[in-house]
Chain A
Amino acid sequence: MKSNALASLFTGAAIVCALTLLWISTRYFFAMREMQKLQAQYSFMNNSRAAAQSLANEAVEYSKRNPTIDPILYTYDVKQRPATNAPAARPAIK
């Protein structure tokens, strides 16, 4: 009789544990999904900026061979205009 009561108690506790675990796992899943989304946004921004900066650098290198690209580079402040006395060039694409 005592064993039966204990078995019932443990069965109830096991069911409660399983339901709790299910609930926590669901919340964990959604939290992880949100974190992955934030990380994806962050890496997309970083990658795009890095690629744009690298493209700008290559365009500056290219401008040494073909100066016809210079107006574009001046427009986006990628390359310093020769007439200005501004200090060091700052990258426009941040």
Chain B
Amino acid sequence: MNTTDPQGDLLQPRSSADSGAALEQLQLRYEQLQFLFVVALGAVVVMGLASSLFMFKQYRMVRAQVEEQRPNVQRMWGDYKNTSEPLIQKFTASLQFFAEKNRDFQPILEKYHNALRPYFGPTAPAPSPNTPATGR
């Protein structure tokens, strides 16, 4: 193989029979390549259709779940906001107030500080004796 001039043989003069055969070969390869391209494109289309179908089914399933859950959760959320939340808020506030005077109740209240964080008032419970004081 001539590495310095890879297309050198194409530029050399040839007989008409040779060039005709080369042209036919090129034509054949071009058609093969075109065929492969069309097949690959067809495969892309099939994959795209399958993916779209799959995603559509997933979307429909999620949508149905949302439609089913939304009214229930909204109703529960409304009930919670109207009844449970004020009660929890008042209850934790009362216990917090109680804990300020009864320090032995403080560790019990402290355990629920993270779980009920939105309902605890601004007066933060005192740190337990084991935890080091933070520099706040």
Contacts and interface: CB of A to CB of B under 8 A. Distances in A.
Interface of A: 3-4, 6-7, 10-11, 13-14, 17-18, 20-21, 24-25, 27-28, 31-32, 34-35, 38, 41-42, 45, 47-52, 54-56, 58-59, 62, 66, 68-69, 72, 75-76, 78, 92-94
B105 A66 contact: yes
Contacts of B21: none
Interface residues of B, number: 49
A72 to B, nearest CB: 5
Contacts of A42: 69, 73, 76
B63 A31 contact: yes
- Judged by DSSP, the binding face of A is helix
A58 B69 contact: no
Contacts, number: 135
Contacts of A27: 59, 63
Interface in B35-58: 35, 37-38, 41-42, 44-45, 48-49, 51-52, 55-56, 58
A68 B103 CA distance: 13
B98 A93 contact: no
